[in-house]
Chains A and B, each alone.
Chain A
Amino acid sequence: MERVNDFAFKIATANGTGSASANGLIMQAIFRMGIPVTGKNVFPSNIQGLPTWYEIRVNKHGYTARTPVFDLMVALNAATYAKDVAEVRAGGWLLYDSTWPLDDKLKRADVQYLGVPLAELCNGAFKGVRERILMKNIAYAGALAALIGIDTEVIRQLTQEKFSKKPALLASNEKAIALGYNYAKDHFPCPLPIRLERMDETKDSILIDGNTAAGLGCVYAGATVGAWYPITPSTSMMEAFKGFCQRFRKDPDTKANRYAIIQAEDELAAIGMVIGASWAGARAFTPTSGPGISLMNEFIGLAYYAEVPAVIFDVQRTGPSTGMPTRTQQCDLMLCAYASHGDTRHICIYPGDPKEAFEFASKAFDLAERFQTPVFVLTDLDIGMNDWMVPKLTWDDSYQPDRGKVLSAAELDAAKTFYRYYDHDGDGIPQRSLPGVHPKGAYFTRGSGHNKFGAYTEDADEYQEVVDRVARKIQNAAKAVPAPIVKKTPGAKMGLLTIGGCHAACVEAMDSLAKDGIHLDYMRVRGFPFGDEVRQFLDEHETVFVVEQNRDAQLRSLLMLDTGTPLTKLESVRYYAGFPMSAHHVIAGVKAKLEKAA
C-alpha cells in the first residue's frame, strides 16, 4: 500500500560518528519540500560510541507527536541490530550496510532488506578513517533520498548553504550523497511505496528546538544576566543565549557586552547569582533541570519570602535522582510548584512547544518582576532539545517590560517613607527599591522573619501578616499567567486536560477518538496557580482525563490541591518511560479507562 507523506523512519547509528548532520539534513530537506515533519533525537548520556537513534515522522495532516511505529529502519549500528530489526512494522523496510553479511538470525520474513555497501563505497571513495566514517553517514542520507524520494535539488541547496565556506567539505559531502543515491537508484525500485511528494504546508513555519527558542526569548525579554551550571538537557539554552548575545548585544561603538553570562560552580550558586542580579535590578535567569532545582531549593525559598524576582527554566528530564538524563518526562511539576522548605507556592508556566518557549520567556520575566517572586518555566527534553515544526516566531515591537513596582530615585525622593513589605495598593504586591538609587530606598533584605516595614521580627502577628499577604499575592497571579488553551466539542460530556509537550499527542488522539465516537473537550493548562477557567472546566465535565508524563500523576495532584476537584472525576492517563508521548498512549489510556468504567 502506498503511503505518501505519511510514514515514519528511524536511523540507528553510534554516538559521535557525525550522524547528527546527516539526520538534520534529511529532516530539513523534507521540511523544505513543504511537508510537515518531526524529528526526535534519542541519544545516550555519552559522547562517543553508545547507540543513538533519530526518528523522523512525515505527516501530511500536520500531526507532530512521536510515533513508535516505523515503516523504515536505517540500521547502521551492529550493536543494536536485533532491537532495530524488531522495531520495523510488518511489511516495512530495513536499510543496512551490506559491506558485511547480515546474520540470518536477524532476518524477518515480513520485512524487506535493502543492503547498501556504505563502508565499501566510502572506503573506495575517501581517504582516512575519520572521513570514511563521516562520509558513510552522509552516504546513507543519499540512499534514503532515493528510497523515499527526497528532492535532490533541495539536498544540493542545503549542502551548499551549509558548506558555503568550506569548499573541500562541500565536495566530499556531495560525493558521498551521490554514492548512496546512485547505489539505491541502481539496485532498488525507487522510490518505495512510502514516499514524499512536495506540499506547501511549511512556508510559514520554522524548525527550532525549545532551548534555542527560550534562549532567544531571554534576549528579546531584555535579560542581561544569565547564571548557570551545565546540565543535560538544558545546556544548549545558555549556549543559544550566548550566541544570540554575541550577535545582538554588543555595543556597536565600544564593543562592550550588554550581557553577562556566569558559569557558576554549581546550581546553588547559579540561582544565588540570579537572585543577586535581580535584587540589583537586572532581568536574570538560570536554565537547569530537575537535579538543579533540587539543589536550588534553599535559595528559592529565600527569593519567595524576601520577594526577589528570579526566572528559572526547568528543562525536565527523567528522575528521580540522576534518572535518565537524556530521556524526557514532566516530573518536576510538584517540585517546582512548592519548591523549598516552609510554606511556599510558586508561579509556574508551561510552554507546549518551542514557539511558546520563546514567547513565555518575556512573560516569565514580566511575572517575576510584577509579583516579585521566582517564576518557573517548565519545558522538557523533548521540547528543549528536539527540532519542532512551529509557526514562525513573531515579536510585538510595542512590548515594554513590566518591571513591577520598582520605585525610581524621584519617586523615592518624593515619598514620605518607604517600607519594603507594605501593601500600599491592596493587591498584595509591595513596592521595591534597587540598591544604588536613593538613600530612602535602603532596606535590609532577609530570609529571616520580617514585618511589613522590612524590620526583623519574631512577633507572631507581624510574621503572619506578611506570609498571608505573600500567599494572597501568589494567588492573584492566577489571573496573570498564560490562559489555558481550550477546544470545545459540541455535546462532549467528558474532558481531556493536559500540559506542555503532550499537546501534539493529545490533539492527534482526540481526532482519532472522535472517529470512534468518543468526543472530548480539550484543555491545556499553561500556568500555575490555576485560574477560574481551569476550575470551571473541571466542574463542568463529569470525567476529565488528565494526560501527563510522570509516574505519580503530579498534574492531577496539583489540580486537586489547587481547585478542590475530587479525585474520582479525574482519570489519569500517563506515559513516563522516557520517550515523548505518542497519540496511541493517549488513545489506549482513555479507552482503557472507559472500558473499566463500562
Chain B
Amino acid sequence: MTYIAKPKVHHPSLKKNALGLTRRDYEGAITTLCAGCGHDSITAAIVHAFWELDIAPHTVAKLSGIGCSSKTPAYFLKEAHGFNSVHGRMPAIATGAGAANHTLTMIGVSGDGDSLSIGLGQLCHAVRRNVNMLYVLENNGVYGLTKGQFSASADPGSMSKKGEANTMEAIDSVLLAMTLGATFVARSFSGDKAQLVPLIKAGLSHKGFAFIDVVSPCVTFNDHEGSTKSYAYTREHQVEVVQADFVPTRDEITSEQEAGTAKSVMMHDGSWVTFRKVAENYDPTDRDAAYGYIRERQKAGEVLTGLLYVSGDSRDMAQQNELGDAALTTLPFDTLCPGSAELNKLQARFR
C-alpha cells in the first residue's frame, strides 16, 4: 500500500492562511518512501509553499511519471487532482491539461530517471513550449524502485551499491534546461527548506515553465562507500560515514546557509556535497553569465544553488497559442460548433 490516509486532527493553534486553511489542509496521504528520504523533505517544502501562497488546493493539478519521486504527489494537496501517469511522460499530460485549462496551477514532480532517461525528450519539449507549470526534478542519481541502478545524472566514477563504476558522463539537468531556453531555472537541496520554499513559491508564480532541480539524497541506494556523486574530494570527511547494511530509519538531512556562501553537507552515504548559494546581488536574468557561473562552480567541485536564471519576457504555451482568459474547457458548445448554416455555405468549396 502506498496510500494511507492521514488522520484529520487539527491543532486549534495551527496558523491559518488567507483562505483560512492550515498547513495540514495542504498535506496528502502518509508517505511510503523510505524513512529519511530527501523526497519527503521536498514534499514538506511544497506543502509549505502552497500554503503560504494561499492557493486553493482544488485549483491545482499535480502530475508525475513513475518512480519514487513520482509517488510524492499523493503525499501533498489531497484536495487537488493528481495524475500519476506513465514513466517519463508526465510533461505530455501536463501539456495537454495546460492547453485544455490554463487556469489550473500545475505542479509536476519527477526524478532523474523519469526526466533524464526515459523522459528526456518530453522534458526538453515541455521546456521549449514553456508550459506554465512548476517542474520539480528530485535528483538522487539512482533508480530507487528498481533497487539501485545508475541514473543519467550519476557522475562518472561513482559506484553503484553492487560495486560497479559508472563510466558515462552525467546529464546536468540545469545546464540542459538553460540550453533549451528555459525561462526559470533553479537548483536547491532537499535539506535546505529555507531556500527551497521561496524557490517553489517563485516557481509557482512564474508564468511559464519553472524548473527546479533538487538534489535529494537516496537514503537506501546511495548508502555505500564509493557512491561519490563526484564529491570525492571531500572524502577526508568520511570518518563521519554512517555504516549500515540494512535500510535504516534515518533522520532527514537539513541544512541552512547564508546567501553567497559555500557549505559542505554530508549525504546519507557519508559523501559530502558542497552547495554554494548564489549571492544576494547575483543577477539571474543574464542567461549566458548564469550558464558560465554554474560551469565555473562545477569545475570547482561545488553545486550552485538558488534561482539561477529567470527570463523577463516569458510567453507561456497558452499565450503562444493565443488563448483567451477563459479555459477551453469552459467555452460553451455553441461557440465551438459552427452549425448547419455554415456547413452549407462551406460546402460550395467542395463542388
A interface residue numbers (CB < 8 A to B): 28, 31-32, 206-208, 216, 219-222, 224-225, 227, 248-249, 251, 254-262, 264-266, 268-282, 284, 298-299, 302, 392-397, 399-401, 433-439, 441-448, 455-458
| Complex: A96 Cα to B29 Cα, angstroms | 77
Give the segment of B98-106, B160-168, B190-198 that binds chain A: B98-106
Among the stretches B177-185, B209-217, B337-345, the one at the interface with A is: B337-345
Q: Is B289 located at the chain interface by the 8 A CB criterion? A: no
Alpha-carbon distance between A258 and B334 when the two chains are bound, in angstroms: 12
CB-CB < 8 A to A264: which residues of B?
A: 92, 95, 125
Q: Is B52 an interface residue (CB 8 A)?
A: no
One of B43-51, B230-238, B242-250, B319-327 at the interface: B319-327
Whether B79 lies near A262 (C-beta < 8 A) is no
**Alpha-carbon separation in the docked complex, A222 to B334 (Å):** 9
Q: A222-B336, A272-B91 provided; 14 other pairs, C-beta below 8 A? A: A206-B350, A219-B338, A268-B89, A268-B92, A271-B92, A276-B100, A280-B104, A392-B347, A393-B347, A435-B101, A436-B104, A437-B58, A444-B81, A445-B82
B99 engages A222 (CB within 8 Å): no
A282 touches B104 (CB 8 A): no
**Is the CB of B329 closer than 8 A to any CB of chain A?**
yes
- In the complex the two chains form, is A395's CB within 8 Å of B82's CB? no
Note all chain B residues with C-beta closer than 8 A to A220: 337-338, 343
Let me know if B69 is at the binding interface, CB within 8 A.
no
Query: Which listed residue, B61, B99, B121, touches A225 by the CB 8 Å rule?
Result: B99
A362 to chain B, nearest CB (A): 9
CA distance A438 to B80 in the complex (A): 9
Interface size on B, residues (CB 8 A): 65
Residue contact A280 to B86, C-beta cutoff 8 Å? no
Across-interface contacts of B323 in A (CB, < 8 A): 256-257, 260
Minimum distance in angstroms from B341 CB to a CB of chain A: 8
> Contact partner of A302 among B85, B96, B101, B322, CB < 8 A?
B85
User: Could you jot down 15 A-B contacts, CB within 8 Å?
Assistant: A206-B347, A224-B328, A227-B96, A260-B323, A262-B99, A264-B125, A273-B93, A275-B96, A276-B92, A278-B96, A282-B96, A435-B80, A435-B81, A442-B58, A458-B1
Residues of A within 8 A of B60 (CB): 435
Contacts of B351 in A (CB 8 A): 28, 31-32, 206-207
Which of B80, B124, B324, B338 contacts A248 (CB under 8 A)?
B338
Count the A-B residue pairs with Cβ separation under 8 angstroms: how many? 233
- Chain B 257-288 residues near chain A, CB threshold 8 A: none
Are A224 and B96 in contact (CB-based, < 8 A)?
A: no
Query: Given the complex, which residues of A lie within 8 Å of B59, measured CB to CB?
Result: 436
The CA of A279 and the CA of B57, in the complex, are separated in Å by: 17
Contact with A442, one of B79, B322, B346 (Cβ below 8 angstroms): B79
Q: Among B325, B347, B351, find the residue whose CB has the most chain A CB atoms closer than 10 A.
A: B351
Query: Which residues of B are found within 8 Å of A445, using beta-carbon distances?
Result: 81-85
B324 and A254 within 8 A (CB): yes
A389 CA / B285 CA spacing, docked (Å):
59
In the complex, which residues of chain B have a beta carbon less than 8 angstroms from the beta carbon of A251? 324, 335
Q: What residues of A have a CB within 8 angstroms of the CB of B78 in the complex? A: 442
Whole-angstrom distance between the alpha carbons of A390 and B148 in the complex? Answer: 61
A282 to B93, CA, bound (A): 13
- Say yes or no for B3: interface residue by CB 8 A criterion: yes
Nearest neighbor of A403 in chain B, beta-carbon distance = B333
Task: Select A438's contact among B3, B58, B82, B347, beta carbons within 8 Å.
Answer: B58
Evaluate whether A442 and B80 lie within 8 angstroms (CB atoms) in the complex, with A222-B337, A256-B324 already known: yes
Question: Which of B1, B79, B93 has most chain A Cβ within 10 Å?
Answer: B93
B340 touches A281 (CB 8 A): no
Q: Is the CB of B329 within 8 A of A282?
A: yes
Give A576 to B91 CA distance when docked, in angstroms: 39
Residues of A within 8 A of B125 (CB): 264-265, 269
**Residue contact A266 to B121, C-beta cutoff 8 Å:** yes
Q: Which residues of B contact A436 (CB under 8 A)?
A: 58-59, 61, 81, 101, 103-104, 327
Partner of A269, one of B89, B335, B340: B89
**CB of B331 within 8 A of chain A?**
yes
* Cα of A276 to Cα of B62 in the assembled complex, Å: 12
CB neighbours (8 Å) of B79 from chain A are 439, 442
A441 to B80, CA, bound (A): 8
B118 → A minimal CB distance (Å):
10
Given contacts A272-B92, A302-B85, A441-B81, contact A434 B329 (CB under 8 A): yes
A284 touches B100 (CB 8 A): yes
Query: Given A206-B347, A276-B95, A392-B347, are A255 and B100 also a contact pair (CB < 8 Å)?
Result: no
Residues of B within 8 A of A447 (CB): 84-86
* Binary per-residue interface labels of chain B (65-91) against chain A in the complex, 1 for a CB within 8 Å, 0 otherwise: 000000001100011111111100101
A residues less than 8 Å from B325 (CB atoms):
256
Interface string of B20-52 (1 = CB under 8 A from A): 000000000000000000000000000000000
Determine if A443 and B100 form an interchain contact, defined as CB atoms under 8 angstroms apart: no
Q: With A and B bound together, what is the CA distance between A400 and B351 in angstroms?
A: 29
Taken together as a complex, chains A and B put the C-alpha atoms of A4 and B301 apart, in Å, by: 86
Q: How far is the CA of A270 from the CA of B96 in the complex (A)?
A: 9
**B86 close to A299 (CB less than 8 A):** yes
**What is the chain B residue whose CB lies nearest that of A270?**
B92
> How far in angstroms is the closest Cβ of chain A from B320?
10
Q: Closest 8 CB pairs between A and B?
A: A272-B92, A276-B96, A256-B324, A282-B100, A435-B81, A273-B96, A277-B96, A276-B93
Bound complex: CA of A281 vs CA of B86, how far in Å?
20
Given contacts A276-B97, A458-B1, contact A265 B58 (CB under 8 A): no
A455 x B324 contact (CB < 8 A): no
Q: Cβ of A257 and Cβ of B322 under 8 Å apart?
A: yes
Q: How far is the CB of B274 from chain A (nearest CB, A)?
A: 36
Identity of the chain A residue whose Cβ is nearest the Cβ of B79 in the assembled complex: A439
Contacts of B333 in A (CB 8 A): 222, 400-401
Q: A268-B89, A443-B81, A447-B86 are in contact. Are A207 and B97 (CB under 8 A)?
A: no
Residues of the A chain whose Cβ atoms lie less than 8 Å from the Cβ of B97: 276-277, 279-280, 435
CB of B218 within 8 Å of the partner chain: no
Task: Name A302's closest neighbour in chain B (CB-CB).
Answer: B86
Q: Are B84 and A281 in contact (CB under 8 A)?
A: no
- Name the A residues within 8 Å of B318 (CB-CB): 260
Indicate with 1 or 0, residue by residue over B116-149, a CB within 8 angstroms of chain A CB atoms.
0000011011000100000000000000000000
Distance from B322 Cβ to chain A, minimum over Cβ atoms (Å)? 5
Once the chains bind, are A277 and B99 in contact (CB under 8 Å)?
yes
Bound-state Cα–Cα, A270 to B122, Å = 10
Judged by a CB distance under 8 angstroms, whether B304 is at the interface is: no
Residues of A within 8 A of B329 (CB): 224, 280-282, 434
Q: Which residues of B contact A261 (CB under 8 A)?
A: 321
Q: Which residues from chain A contact B310 at a C-beta distance below 8 Å? A: none
Q: Which residue of chain A has its CB nearest to the CB of B87?
A: A298
Q: Is there a chain A Cβ closer than 8 Å to B94's Cβ?
A: yes
A280 pairs with B58, CB closer than 8 A: no
CA distance A222 to B122 in the complex (A): 28
Chain A residues in 8 Å Cβ range of B99 = 225, 227, 260, 262, 273, 276-277, 282
Known interface pairs A206-B347, A274-B96, A281-B101; A258-B337 also in contact (CB < 8 Å): no
**In whole angstroms, how far apart are the Cα atoms of A321 and B346 in the complex?**
38
What is the bound-complex CA distance between A222 and B323, given in angstroms? 16
Complex-state Cα separation, A28 to B103, whole angstroms? 47
Q: Is the CB of A455 within 8 A of B3?
A: yes
Residues of A within 8 A of B61 (CB): 280, 435-436
Q: How distant is the Cα of A255 from the Cα of B63 in the complex, in angstroms? A: 31
B2 within 8 A of A: yes
Point out the residues of chain B lying under 8 angstroms from A275, CB to CB.
Answer: 85, 92-93, 96
Complexed CA–CA distance, A496 and B329 (Å): 44
Q: Which B residues are in CB contact (< 8 Å) with A207?
A: 350-351
A447 to B95 Cα, complex, angstroms: 19
Q: Please measure, in the bound complex, the distance between the C-alpha atom of A560 and the C-alpha atom of B294, giving whole angstroms.
A: 63
Q: How far is the CA of A249 from the CA of B83 in the complex (A)?
A: 30
Q: Within the complex, which residue of B73, B327, B337, B343 is in contact with A393, where a contact is CB–CB below 8 Å?
A: B343
Interface residues of B in 1-26 (CB under 8 A from A): 1-3
Which B residue's beta carbon lies closest to that of A400? B333
